[in-house]
Amino acid sequence: MNTPTSTGAPRRRTIDIVNAGLKKRRRAERRFRLYGMTAISMGLLFLLTLFGSIISKGYTAFWQHYMLIDVTLTPADIAPDGSRDPQVLAKANYMGLVKASLREMFPEVTGRRDKRRLYKLVSSGAASEVRKRVLEDPALIGKTVGFWVPTDDEVDLLLKGRVNTQLPESQRRVKDNVVAWVETLKQQGRIQKRFNTIFFTHGDSRNPEQAGILGAVSGSFLTLLVTLLLAFPIGVAAAVYLEEFAPRNWFTDLIEVNINNLAAVPSIVFGLLGLAVFLNFFHLPRSAPLVGGLVLTLMTLPTIIIASRAALKSVPPSIKEAALGVGASPMQAIYYHVLPLAMPGMLTGTIIGMAQALGESAPLLMIGMVAFIVDVPHGVFDPATVLPVQIYLWADSPERAFVERTSAAIIVLLAFLVTMNLLAVILRRRFERRW
């Protein structure tokens, strides 16, 4: 290779300048590439951490430990007069019976504080479990019956290994004697791990071991039903008008600008709209899925309209022209020929809009869907909450057992979202047509 000094030329040749800088430039190239890879890995790492942290916190909530207690159903305590009237039976002090059976298991426990700890081994829902069985079968009265009842949330956490027993006793809520009792019970085979059906069949509760997501899931379902019934027809109709009939004038432009802007308005502003218009002006009931559905309709409409317009646009004009050519009116051509072909695209857009609506919580806070509601809602006027808001409420709860339940609720929510998105993808793959 020639160098300027060896030839003695007064000027450096271009190729030499290039060669001299080449190493540095290649290094820069590699560095730049590395930056890009780092960025992507970081993004994926975040995703992994997010899912990892939630799944590791939440998977245990799908199990719950149950404890076998032998309750002596003494007739004197349940119905002293020998009555079998369900009303009398329902009023008996079953908690007292449960407590008595616990005392029997650990007769050595004396002292008020220790006794109180002993009673807290089982969930406060244990009494209603016993009552239910007695009401179903009054013949049990007088016998000693074994009941599998849910353990208290702290005990459950202990059994799941989520309590650090190495900490000094004063720093944890589960005290040493409780740990010892649980150990004894475990050796006696009185502890069982079961699938947590309560979590899927109950409404909200202040006690973590009795709290479930059924209320929130039905609330979400009702809210989305209202949203779907309103947003789909309105969205499709708006898209059809804008794509097929609208003349180019100021009014159409105004609509277009509005749709584009609404798609980017913060969701909480829709909540303010719902509060001011639906609640304070139209006096619709607070916390109702109906109002939630109305607010979410306004929120998801832009998504659905934009997706439906894209679907209508992808149908070749020749199809409409052929229909017009054989004498159909424009309305008939669109209704019978363009719309069916655009429908898969529209449905995909709608499902994606619904998935958005399912995950939304901020506007629903504004219209009072944050109330503590135990009952499972059955209609669109019943007070209800939705799954994301339930997550928000539980995340605020001080009980540690709610952390795993919150994570479990998030897993359920994500499962719904994944299903909906998969449905959209499948729909698109299956019916997508290239013209």
Partner 1 sequence: MNTLTFAGVLLVLSAIAYHLGRRRAYTVAGGELRKLHSLPSYYGLYTAIWCGLPALVLIGFWLAFENTLVTAMVVSDLPEALRSLPSERLNLVLNDLRNLAEGNIGPESVDPAIQAAAAHYNQLLQISHWAMAVVVLSVAMILGWYALTKVKPHQRARNAVEVVIKAFLILCASVAILTTLGIVLSVLFESLRFFTSVPPMEFLFGTVWSPQTALRADQVGSSGAFGAVPLFAGTMLISAIALLVAVPIGLLSAIYLSEYAHKKVRTIAKPLLEILAGIPTVVYGFFAALTVAPFVRDLGRSMGLEVSSESALAAGVVMGIMIIPFVSSLSDDVINAVPQSLRDGAYGLGATQAETIRKVIFPAALPGIVGGILLAASRAIGETMIVVMAAGLSANLTANPLEAVTTVTVQIVTLLTGDQEFDSPKTLAAFALGLALFAVTLVLNVIALHVVRKYREQYE
Q: Which is nearer to partner 1, 177 or 267 (CB)?
A: 267
380 touches partner 1 (CB under 8 A): no
Can you name the residues that pair with 150 across neighbouring β-strands?
66
Q: Are 59 and 409 in contact (CB under 8 A)?
A: no
Selected from 72, 188, 192, 329, the binder of partner 1 by CB under 8 A is: 329
135 touches partner 1 (CB under 8 A): no
> Of 122, 95, 118, whose CA–CA distance to 107 is shortest?
118
Contact window for partner 1 (CB under 8 A) among 46-54, 79-87, 119-127, 194-202: 46-54
Looking only at residues 396 through 435 of this chain, which bind partner 1 when binding is defined by CB under 8 A? 396, 403, 406-407, 410, 413-414, 417, 421
Q: Show the tokens assigned to 67.
A: 């404890």
Looking only at residues 275 through 294 of this chain, which bind partner 1 when binding is defined by CB under 8 A? 275-277, 280, 283
392 touches partner 1 (CB under 8 A): yes
Q: Which is nearer to partner 1, 62 or 381 (CB)?
A: 381
Contact window for partner 1 (CB under 8 A) among 4-12, 32-40, 77-85, 120-128: 32-40
Query: Residue 194 Cβ, how far from partner 1 at the closest point, in Å?
Result: 26
Selected from 268, 322, 422, 426, the binder of partner 1 by CB under 8 A is: 268
Give the number of other CB atoms < 10 A from CB of residue 193: 13
CA distances for 415 relative to 407, 409, 411, angstroms: 12, 10, 6
Query: Residue 139 Cβ, how far from partner 1 at the closest point, in Å?
Result: 41
Query: Residue 340 Cβ, how far from partner 1 at the closest point, in Å?
Result: 17
9 touches partner 1 (CB under 8 A): no
229 touches partner 1 (CB under 8 A): no
Ranges of H-type helices in 241-338: 250-262, 267-273, 289-313, 317-325, 330-333
Query: Residue 218 Cβ, how far from partner 1 at the closest point, in Å?
Result: 18
Q: Which is nearer to partner 1, 25 or 194 (CB)?
A: 25
x/- mask, partner 1, residues 162-201, rule CB under 8 A, reads ----------------------------------------
For residue 152, report the phi and psi dihedrals to the nearest 5 degrees: -65, 155
Selected from 389, 401, 408, 412, the binder of partner 1 by CB under 8 A is: 389
Q: Which is nearer to partner 1, 72 or 280 (CB)?
A: 280
Q: What is the helix (H) or strand (E) element at residue 342, kind and residue range?
A: helix 339-359
Looking only at residues 86 through 105 of this chain, which bind partner 1 when binding is defined by CB under 8 A? none
Contact window for partner 1 (CB under 8 A) among 41-49, 113-121, 168-176, 178-186: 41-49
Looking only at residues 333 through 372 of this chain, which bind partner 1 when binding is defined by CB under 8 A? 355, 358-362, 365-366, 368, 370
44 touches partner 1 (CB under 8 A): yes
Looking only at residues 51 through 90 of this chain, which bind partner 1 when binding is defined by CB under 8 A? 53-54, 57
Query: Residue 293 Cβ, how far from partner 1 at the closest point, in Å?
Result: 14
CA distances for 364 relative to 253, 293, 350, 413, angstroms: 31, 9, 20, 16
Q: Which is nearer to partner 1, 88 or 417 (CB)?
A: 417
Looking only at residues 235 through 254 of this chain, which bind partner 1 when binding is defined by CB under 8 A? 235, 237-238, 240-242, 245-246, 254
Sign of CA dihedral 110, 115, 118, 122: positive
What SS3 class is residue 77?
helix
Q: Which is nearer to partner 1, 127 or 231 (CB)?
A: 231
Q: Which is nearer to partner 1, 315 or 366 (CB)?
A: 366
User: Burial level of 380, CB count in 10 A (0-12/13-18/19+)?
Assistant: middle
Q: Enumerate long-range contacts of 213-216, CB under 8 Å, 24 or more apart.
A: 213/387, 213/390, 213/409, 213/412, 214/376, 215/373, 215/374, 215/375, 215/376, 215/377, 215/384, 215/385, 215/390, 216/384, 216/385, 216/386, 216/387, 216/389, 216/390, 216/409
307 touches partner 1 (CB under 8 A): no
Separation of alpha carbons 204 and 9, rounded Å: 88
Residue type, 25: R
Selected from 213, 305, 312, 384, the binder of partner 1 by CB under 8 A is: 305
> Of 216, 181, 189, whose CA–CA distance to 201 is shortest?
216
Selected from 78, 118, 159, 301, the binder of partner 1 by CB under 8 A is: 301
Separation of alpha carbons 301 and 68, rounded Å: 53
> Of 206, 168, 137, whose CA–CA distance to 405 is shortest?
206
Residue type, 214: L
50 touches partner 1 (CB under 8 A): yes
234 touches partner 1 (CB under 8 A): yes
